[in-house]
Amino acid sequence: MRDSKTLALEAIERCQALARFSEDAHSIRRTFLCPAMRDCHHEITGWLAPLGIPSRVDAAGNLRVTYPSAVPDAPRLLIGSHLDTVPNAGAYDGILGVVLAIALLSALDGRKLPYVMEVIGFSEEEGVRFGTPFLGSRALVGSLDEALLKRKDARGISIHRALEDFGLNPAEIAQAAMPEATLGYLEFHIEQGPLLESLGHPLGVVEAIVGQSRLEITFVGHANHAGTTPMNLRRDAVAAAAEWIGAVENHAKYTSELVATVGAIQVQPGTGNVIAGEARLSLDVRHRVDEARTTAVAYLLRQAEEIATRRGLSAQGDILLEQPAVPMNPFLVDQVARAVSQAGCEPFRMVSGAGHDAMVMASKVPSAMIFLRTPGGVSHDPEEAVAVGDVTKAIECGRHLLDQLANSAEFLRRTQHA
């Protein structure tokens, strides 16, 4: 049987191997069903061949790996994460969770458990190509519907068409749904933040995932000549946007636990000697308490309207995503905490400030997450890293957790959301 450190070194090497598959020549970018995703599937399938474990790609582009049970007609435990990335990404966000799940299959060394294990590499979580996240996990919970399939990317290609171009049949999306007899979902993921490192913890036990709102705010003024229009006669959309961005930052600074981000701005006409007639901005607001988040969103929308009115402009806010905070399953959280302790780590309980597939999966099945410390708190960047010792501890935790669940009569009776 291979030891956890050997498996950890291999897992890190495999994450770096998958980083070679990218849409860009000198950085990592792998979006929904791009050609590089097919290369990922092929590489992972090659890792599974010596283990004799089959895999398939479902109608939503998710890689599905099934490890059979020792028991006929056994229920199923899902474990995985996503294989897509943001532009200019690191090698571990999402991908490490898939690779660690495969490492745990290898660690079983052919031993069967009283449940089927299914490893999932979700096709899409980041929302980069189509502006809406969690396409892969939505298919498993049955919410990747016809309306969503019509959504188009920047080139005018719909999700429906992207599936067909990848050789998949959108009419079979319903068949991607998880089986009814599914016990739960587990996800290993880098923290993507500095908390675990600041406290000296290799692993974290996620108790909940914060709620998030994503909006698009548009200020519409009037484009005019930059040299001939007096300052007091301007209806400058960028100036209004700049004032509002300051209001967003200020409100988040003085609201406990609230984070709010304007991460993208599009300006029309976007020329240096022309006063901007339109500015379109993104807004991302997150909080562990839904009421605090929705109150903040309402306040910031009012601020946009007030700033626009005072400056002689109009403002409009469109909600793109309204995701409530999601608690993880208490039974599984306790089991994860116990497994973290068995791995020799303090079971530090925490909240995830980032969204994950687990928040979608939790709508249908008991779900839990285990965070790994992120050196420097850096993520969504080429400097993203993990420590061999932390990955080793994660594998040890996973081994204990699989055995705990295999020996839990309470868990094996759970085939619906608890």
Task: Report the pLDDT value the prediction gives residue 320, as an integer from 0 to 100.
Answer: 86
Sequence spans of domains, the chain? 4-210+325-412, 211-323
Has residue 417 got a pLDDT over 50? no
Question: How do residues 275-316 score in pLDDT, each as one tens digit?
Answer: 999 999 999 999 999 999 999 999 999 999 999 999 999 999
Has residue 2 got a pLDDT over 70? yes
Query: What does the mean pLDDT of the chain come to?
Result: 96
Which residue type, as a one-letter code, is found at position 184? Answer: G
Cβ atoms of residues 240 and 307 within 8 Å: yes
pLDDT band at 418 (very low <50, low <70, confident <90, very high): very low
- The fold of the 4-210+325-412 domain, in CATH, is Aminopeptidase (3.40.630)
Q: Which residues contact 395 (CB under 8 A, 6 or more apart)?
A: 4, 7, 8, 11, 100, 103, 104, 107
Question: How do residues 321-338 score in pLDDT, each as one tens digit?
Answer: 898 999 999 999 999 999
Has residue 192 got a pLDDT over 60? yes
Percent with pLDDT over 90 in the chain: 95
- The fold of the 211-323 domain, in CATH, is Alpha-Beta Plaits (3.30.70)
Task: Report the pLDDT value the prediction gives residue 413, as an integer from 0 to 100.
Answer: 85
Task: Report the pLDDT value the prediction gives residue 416, as an integer from 0 to 100.
Answer: 44
Enter the pTM of the model.
0.86
Task: Report the pLDDT value the prediction gives residue 255, as an integer from 0 to 100.
Answer: 97
Cis peptide before 114 (omega within 30 of 0): no
